[in-house]
Chains A and B, each alone.
Chain A
Amino acid sequence: MPRKLRADVVVIGGGPAGMAAALGAKEGGAKDVFLLERGNELGGILNQCIHPGFGVQLFREELTGPEYAGVFTERLSSSGVEVMTSTLVCEVKKDGRVKAVNRSGVWEFVARSVVMAMGCRERTRDMLRIPGTRPAGVLTAGLVQYLVNVEGLLPGREVVILGSGDIGLIVARRLELEGVHVKAVVEIRDSLSGLVRNYVQCLLDFDIPIFFSHTVTGIQGEGRVEAVEISRVDEDWRPVSATAYWMECDALLLSVGLIPENELSRRMGIPLYPESGGPYIDENGATELPNIYACGNVSSVFDLVDYVSMVSERTGRAAASTAARRPVAFTLERGEGVGMVVPQRIRERGEGDIFFRPARSVRDGSVQFRMGEKIIFENTMPVCRPSEMVRIPSKKVSWPGETGKVRVEIHGEPIRGI
């Protein structure tokens, strides 16, 4: 028989999103708040991100991932939140029942509100369909980051990285510092996916070349990776076979994107937003189901942990509230030049923040929120890049009295290369 516990708020996942949500729920007045984490400690992905670059927005200081996690772990220890680590949530029901397992058995929580903060996982080779043999040595970049930084293991001696996103760049530097030779970063787009700062400090500092408009079209090796085939791609990202050549290496790292971890949400029947892979949410992180909330990378992939903490605290507070939700006033949709928008629903005008990710790099950008022909927000941005989410405080938008659909657009001059 599972042990039953009554709760005001149950938060699933103890990364930065879950930690901030649990704190927010307490501050919002919830009495019994549980934070459930499957790993043996709090912090989520931050524990493996040993590089500095966290907390600039929130603390005006560059912390490493473990330092940032440490600040929140300390806050939690004096907050009255019930933290349960090594506890895996295996089921969430629409009515707020949460089933979890740990060493002492099966637990069933009956929660007034549930906050999902399960983070995301990496896209893998299967999703990319690279032909060739199936040797050892093909790994995702985030997994390698874990192996190097937490376990102290190296993936190989000579590696090629597919994808120029920030995780791949940061791992490239880490490997070079440990004496591994990173032979190349191969990027299918014609511009950098990650931050320029990471390009300089992770690739240029170590003389690692980057090949734009190229991809990996084959993998060779008996038992272990021996070489990868690299080809140029045309404008539609189709490989040009005449340009193919083999590069010797003993590992291929994939840094080709993250997808929100939404098995639990899917089984619960929550509608998911195709562009982000997470549930549709409003400015408070409320999903389409009453009493079910989502925040952090499970709702859409964030690049700045500071933003994750900010929105998640708000979500925790909302989850603690017993007031009825207002009806949806606006729906936000991506328009030209925009990859995805979060939140996708606005209930209260002027509350919270709106984030969106540029679909491509542009210079002299102009951001617009449109309702039909009417512009309700406009701003200029010297540069916009897919690696940097844009944040617009909702109070800066001139929300009209009527309700409806709002399209977010970015226009500007495309940037090629760096």
Chain B
Amino acid sequence: MENQFEESDDIICTACPMGCHTVVRRENSSYHVRGAQCPRGERYVKVEATDPRRVVATTVKVRNGSIRRLPVKTSLPFPRDRMRELVHSLSALEVSAPVRRGETIKRNLLGEKVDLVATRDVSVQ
């Protein structure tokens, strides 16, 4: 069979402030990184090319709390390409005070096995 390969666009490594410009090339099932200046960056860029994820931070509505919006974040990095969908899906979510920092607000977001956690305390108004 002929050799199958694919090359990514420029991926900027953000694992350190150097910000190396890299390209990931897939040949059959192995990946080669060009432009990374260290092994840590190489690992980072491979993940970025295959399964990019981000911790997503947003807010949700709070009922009878001392503040109107509760800041929340995903418990783990969440698939990058579903971030908008995630935030949109939370627009109707409402929680009631009191809330504790670190409390789980919603489990298994969009079936991705990542939870939503509160990032601050909210007392009852």
Contact = CB atoms under 8 A, between A and B. Distances in A.
A and B bind? yes
Interface of A: 47, 50-52, 62, 64, 66-67, 69-70, 149-152, 174, 176-179, 195-197, 199-201, 204-205, 382-383, 385, 388, 418
Specify the main secondary structure of chain B where it touches its partner: mixed
A51 B14 CA distance: 17
A69 B120 CA distance: 9
In this complex, the member of B19, B59, B69, B83 whose beta carbon has the largest number of chain A beta carbons within 10 angstroms is B19
Given A150-B67, A177-B56, 19 more contacts: A50-B57, A62-B55, A64-B57, A64-B119, A66-B120, A70-B120, A150-B68, A151-B68, A151-B69, A174-B58, A177-B83, A177-B87, A196-B14, A199-B12, A204-B12, A205-B80, A205-B83, A383-B17, A385-B17
Given A196-B17, A205-B80, A383-B18, A150 B120 contact: no
B71 interface: yes
B54 interface: yes
5 contacts: A149-B59, A149-B71, A196-B14, A196-B19, A383-B17
Contacts of B120: 47, 66-67, 69-70
A407 B18 CA distance: 26
B61 interface: yes
A50 B55 contact: no
A77 B98 CA distance: 19
Contact of B17 (A50, A64, A70, A195): A195
A-B interface, 7 closest residue pairs, ranked by CB to CB distance from nearest:
A196-B19, A66-B120, A50-B71, A197-B14, A177-B87, A64-B119, A152-B69
A152 B68 contact: yes
B17 A388 contact: yes
B54 A152 contact: no
Given A66-B71, A150-B68, A152-B68, A178 B14 contact: no
In this complex, the member of B21, B73, B119 whose beta carbon has the largest number of chain A beta carbons within 10 angstroms is B119
B113 interface: no
A197 B54 CA distance: 12
A58 B8 CA distance: 36
A66 B73 CA distance: 11
B40 to A, nearest CB: 14
Contacts of A62: 55
B120 to A, nearest CB: 4
Contacts of A174: 58
B57 A178 contact: no
Interface string B7-32: 00000101001110100000000000
B17 A51 contact: no
Contacts of A67: 101, 119-120
Interface string B40-56: 00000000000000111
A201 B14 contact: yes
Contact of A205 (B18, B54, B55, B119): B54
A327 B25 CA distance: 61
Nearest to A51: B57
Contacts of A64: 57, 71, 73, 119
Contacts of A151: 68-69
B121 interface: yes
Interface string B84-100: 10011000000000000
